[in-house]
Amino acid sequence: MGEIATSERQITLFYSSKSTRAKQTLAYAKAEGLPIMEIDILKVPLTGTQIAELANRLYIEIKDLVNQEHPSYKSHFEPHEFSPDDWIKMIKHNPEIMKQPIALRGDITILIETPTDIIKI
């Protein structure tokens, strides 16, 4: 069992409060009456274990959690290959570069591409 608690009765949403897609997803979920536990990654720092677990649950590598097109990534980092630990440190110190929102419910985890994706979970 991982460090992130999940429930079949509630959706846990990891998001950035600065993200338009996240705001739209939250508004859509609330309009649909979905039970949401919100975790704003800009206010609640993720642990390295949580970051690794999110990547694992999405069946992707940790580096694939990083949005390398984000202006903050481009201004701080050069395109480069890093170790998984380095990617985790980058996300921990610059949470805005993490791809999100990520929704979890029970054993299901999805990376939200459009706000309506939330109903898939």
* Residue 95: band (very low, low, confident or very high) from pLDDT cuts 50, 70, 90: very high
| Domain extent listing, the chain | 11-120
The CATH architecture annotation of domain 11-120 reads 3-Layer(aba) Sandwich (3.40)
Q: What's this model's pTM, rounded to 2 decimal places? A: 0.94
Q: What is the pLDDT of residue 80?
A: 79
**Residue 97 above 90 pLDDT?**
yes
**% the chain with pLDDT above 70:** 99
Mean pLDDT of 86-115: 96
Q: What is the pLDDT of residue 1?
A: 44
Order of strands, edge to edge, in the sheet holding 102-105? Answer: 36-40, 11-15, 102-105, 108-111
Of the two residues 15 and 120, the one the predictor is more confident about is 15
Spatial separation of the C-alpha atoms in residues 75 and 57, rounded to whole Å: 29
